[in-house]
Amino acid sequence: MYVIAGLGNPKREYENTRHNVGFDVIDAIASKYGIRVIERKHKALVGRGYIDGMKVVLAKPQTFMNLSGESIREIIDYYKVDPQSELVVVCDDISLELGQLRIRKKGSAGGHNGLKNIIAQLGTDGFARIKMGVGNKPEGYDLADYVLGHFTGAERKIMDESIGYAVDAAVTMLEKGPDEAMNRFNGKRAGGEGK
Query: What's the confidence (pLDDT) of residue 189?
Result: 83
Of the pLDDT bands very low, low, confident and very high (cuts 50, 70, 90), residue 138 is: confident
| Residue 9 assigned ligand-binding role | no
Q: Which residues are catalytic?
A: 19
Over residues 110-133, mean pLDDT: 96
pTM: 0.95
pLDDT exceeds cutoff 50 at 153: yes
2 marked as binding residue: no
Q: Is 151 annotated as a binding residue?
A: no
Banded pLDDT at 195 (limits 50, 70, 90): very low
Q: Beta strand 101-104 with 128-133: parallel, antiparallel or unpaired?
A: antiparallel
pLDDT at 21 exceeding the cut of 80: yes
Coil, strand or helix at 136: coil
By the 8 A CB rule, do 71 and 63 touch?
yes
Q: SS3 of 140, please?
A: coil
- What is the mean pLDDT of the segment spanning 162-183? 96
CA dihedral 74, 78, 82, 84 (to 10 degrees): -20
Distance CA 70, CA 62 (A): 10
**Considering Cα of 79, then 80, then 85, then 89, what sign does the dihedral take?**
positive
- Could you tell me the domains of the chain? 2-185 (3.40.50.1470)
Considering only residues 187 and 23, tell me which one the structure prediction assigns the higher pLDDT: 23
Is 14 annotated as contributing to ligand binding? yes
